[in-house]
Every structure is written in C-alpha cells, then in structure tokens.
Amino acid sequence: MFEIPAGLFSWFHNLTGSYMVAIALMAAVVMAITTPLTLKSTKGMLEMQRLAPEMRKLQNEHRNDRQKLNEEMMKLYQEHKVNPLASCLPIAAQMPIFLIMFRLLRGLVYEPTTGTRPIADATLAAVNRTDVELGFIPRYLGTETELYQSLFGRHDMPSLGLDLSKSAFDAIGEGFTTGIVYSLLVVLLGALYFGQQRMVAARAAMSPTMSPAQQKLMQYLPVFFAVFQIFFLSALVVYYIFQTLIRILQQFYITRKFYGHDEALGRQAQRASEAAREEAKKSGDGGGGMFAQAKRDLAAAKGDPKDAPGESNGTAKRAAAKTAKDKGGSARPIPTSKRVTPPKNRPTTSAKGRPTPSRKEAQAARARSSRPKTSGKKRR
C-alpha cells in the first residue's frame, strides 16, 4: 500500500532534486485523483437541494408513516437519477489518502529510538552498513534508490532552509527564533483553510437542513484542525499547504461552473432551498437546522405535543379552543386538571352516577354477605 506512493515520491525527487517540490507534486497528483469525486459530490449535493421542495411535501404528506415516506423518497431519487450518498465520496477517498501520506512522510524520516535500537542494528547488519552512524532509516523504499541514499543516516531533511523532518513544536523547543519560522507555516495553513471555507460559505445558500450556527461551525472547524498541525512534521504541513492552494483553485472552478449564471445548477438549488424553507414555515415545522428537525422528529415519536411538528399540536389546540367556545362563549381553551389519581378515602362517582364505596365500606359489605343466612321459620 505504501510502496507505490513512496516510489512515486522517489521519482519526483529524482526528477527535481528537491524534497519540497516533490511534496508539491504529490499534492497535485492527489488532487488530480480526488477532484472528479469532488465535482461529482458537489453536483449530487446541488441536485438534492433542487429536490428540497418535493422532499418537504413528501415529509408533510407522510409525516406519520415512516416506511411510506422512505418508499416515496426512493422513487423520487430514482425518477431524477439522484444518488443521496454521492456527497460522501470525497470524504471516503480523502481519509485513506491522509493516512497514506502521513505514514509515508513519517516513514521517510524514521529514526529508531532506544526501544527499537536492536531492530535498527539488525537492519543495518542486513544491508552491510554497520559502520554508519544511526540516523534516518527510510521505509517503503528500496536501498538502491536515490531518495533512500539521500536520507539514510541523516538527522534532517533540508529544503529551502527548513528541516522538513522537524515539527513546529520541536522547533519552538529549540528556541524562539528557530520556532517562529515553522510556526508561520502552521499560521499560513490556517489562513488558507479559512479562506477556502469563506469561498464555500459565500456561494452556498442557507440550507434548510443546516442552521447559521452550524454553518459557522463548519467554517471554523478546519482552522482548529490546522492548530493541531503544530505537532506534525513540517513536511506534512507543506503538503497540506500545497493541497489547499490547489483546492482554492478548485473552488474557483466549482463557483464558475455551478454558479456562473441564473440557470446554473447551483442557482436552481438556491431557489429550491428557499422554496423548501417557505414550505416548512407554512407547515409549522419552523426550520432551525438539522438538529432541531431531529429533536422534533424524536418528540413526535414520543408523542410530546410541545416539540412535535405542526399539524397534530395545532389541531389539538384548535379543538380545545372550539370546545371552550361552544360551552362558555369564550375562545380560551378549557384548563384541565393535572391530577389523574382519585384522592384517598374519598368516594368517587361511578359511570352510572352512584358513589363508589370506600375500602372500609367494601370490607363491611363483604363481611355481611359472608354471614350464614338463618331461616325465618320457628321449630316446632
């Protein structure tokens, strides 16, 4: 799994003679692989938003029948040839790529520690290099490659005055002057993340399934992710910087392709989202984002009229108001008692209007009925 990308990285290094340029070319290759998936995901997401009004109507029509709703939603997807899982493609592809690049770059600058020293000595003996001072032992590469020879036994990965094998945290520990340059790389990465998310937020409409607070969270979350890069190798930080620069160009292309004119797919999705929000207001759902919608669905399943969506709650209130108006001429709802159990030792009225006997009276009645009956005739 790691030998193929390591061989490609080695080929780029042989071609350019620079670790940083080789990392930039690796980022370009990864983006070339994931860009078609991103475009397909964006198109699928916009097609789903374009169907939002029809989906809202189906939700209102089959509010109390979850199985029927799922069947109608599947028919709607098949009719319009929409895949609801298409938006998950880039996420599913980027996670293994992240793990591969993380392991690859760390493997290139692998340096045995005290616990792995015997393994390292055995490895050096296997390649007949016992005379070499212990340093980097690159992984996933053949010992005859130029990249392996350039890193083997070293303690740094120099490129443009930086040691790419060092993290910003380690550089700060060596001194403020040394660490500030590496820290600026992390700051630059966070700024690029923020700019990229601003581009996405600027063109995206307010989705009926995402509140403004959730959109802000999605905008600032990558920036917090950049903070953790202070503990990663500078080589990985450089890789993400080049990848984010290419991703910004990708976002420019997406904006031009899907939002370039009024009849573009993105503009249609925005208008459909607005129509779906209006439909939600009319039905009494009230919007509020996907978490609020989940809360209303859960309340409706539990039968709680406080948070249940619109129709059943409103119907109950109108019925109570109508009953109060018919009895007393007032439109105010009739107050109902919260007490559901009868008071102790107090007779209650049965359905026929007769009082229900208390416990003592019932016991006395059973005692009288159990006494033996005597005949009224006298013995002669």
Global confidence as pTM: 0.67
Question: Which tens digit of pLDDT belongs to each residue from 243-287?
Answer: 999 999 998 998 888 888 888 887 887 788 777 777 677 766 555
Task: Give percent of the chain above pLDDT 90.
Answer: 26
Using the predicted structure, report yes or no on whether residue 77 has a pLDDT greater than 50: yes
Q: What is the DSSP letter of 43?
A: H
- Residue of 265, 270, 202 lying closest to 39 (CA atoms): 265
Using the predicted structure, report yes or no on whether residue 132 has a pLDDT greater than 70: no
What is the pLDDT of the chain when averaged over all its residues?
Answer: 76
Using the predicted structure, report yes or no on whether residue 309 has a pLDDT greater than 70: no
Distance CA 149, CA 350 (A): 98
- Residue of 235, 236, 203 lying closest to 49 (CA atoms): 203
Mapped onto helix, strand or coil, the DSSP state of residue 29 is helix
Token pair for 15: 């071609």
pLDDT of residue 116: 62
Q: How confident is the model at residue 207 (pLDDT cuts 50, 70, 90)?
A: very low
pLDDT of residue 316: 47
> Which range, 30-39, 255-264, 290-299, 345-354, is most confident?
30-39
Q: How confident is the model at residue 12 (pLDDT cuts 50, 70, 90)?
A: very high
pLDDT of residue 57: 84
Which range is least confidently modeled, 181-190, 206-215, 266-275, 355-364?
Answer: 206-215
Q: How confident is the model at residue 42 (pLDDT cuts 50, 70, 90)?
A: confident
Using the predicted structure, report yes or no on whether residue 154 has a pLDDT greater than 80: yes
pLDDT of residue 60: 82
φ, ψ (nearest 5 deg) of residue 167: -90, 160
Distance CA 292, CA 214 (A): 11
pLDDT of residue 331: 47
Distance CA 305, CA 287 (A): 17
Q: How confident is the model at residue 312 (pLDDT cuts 50, 70, 90)?
A: very low
Task: Give percent of the chain above pLDDT 70.
Answer: 67
Using the predicted structure, report yes or no on whether residue 114 has a pLDDT greater than 60: no
Using the predicted structure, report yes or no on whether residue 174 has a pLDDT greater than 80: yes
Q: How confident is the model at residue 310 (pLDDT cuts 50, 70, 90)?
A: very low
Q: How confident is the model at residue 319 (pLDDT cuts 50, 70, 90)?
A: low
- The answer to whether 130 touches 116, Cβ cutoff 8 Å, is no
Task: Report the pLDDT averaged over residues 202-231.
Answer: 70
More confident residue, 68 or 317: 68
Q: How confident is the model at residue 320 (pLDDT cuts 50, 70, 90)?
A: low
pLDDT of residue 196: 87
Using the predicted structure, report yes or no on whether residue 294 has a pLDDT greater than 60: no
- The answer to whether 164 touches 19, Cβ cutoff 8 Å, is yes
| DSSP calls for 118-182 | HHHHHHHHHTT-TTSPS----SSS-TTSHHHHHHTT-S--EETTEETTSBHHHHHHH-HHHHHHH
Distance CA 286, CA 299 (A): 14
Question: Which tens digit of pLDDT belongs to each residue from 325-344?
Answer: 555 544 455 455 455 555 55
**Which residues, 6 or more positions from 204, have their beta carbon under 8 angstroms from its beta carbon?**
215
Tell me how far apart the terminal alpha carbons of the chain are, to the nearest angstrom. Answer: 117
More confident residue, 293 or 158: 158
From the number of C-beta atoms within 10 Å of its C-beta (0-12, 13-18, 19+), residue 212 rates as exposed
Distance CA 355, CA 361 (A): 12
Distance CA 148, CA 138 (A): 6
Using the predicted structure, report yes or no on whether residue 295 has a pLDDT greater than 60: no
Using the predicted structure, report yes or no on whether residue 178 has a pLDDT greater than 80: yes
Task: Report the pLDDT averaged over residues 367-378.
Answer: 59
pLDDT of residue 344: 53
Using the predicted structure, report yes or no on whether residue 348 has a pLDDT greater than 60: no
Distance CA 282, CA 304 (A): 21
Helix (H) or strand (E) holding 73: helix 66-80
φ, ψ (nearest 5 deg) of residue 204: -80, 140
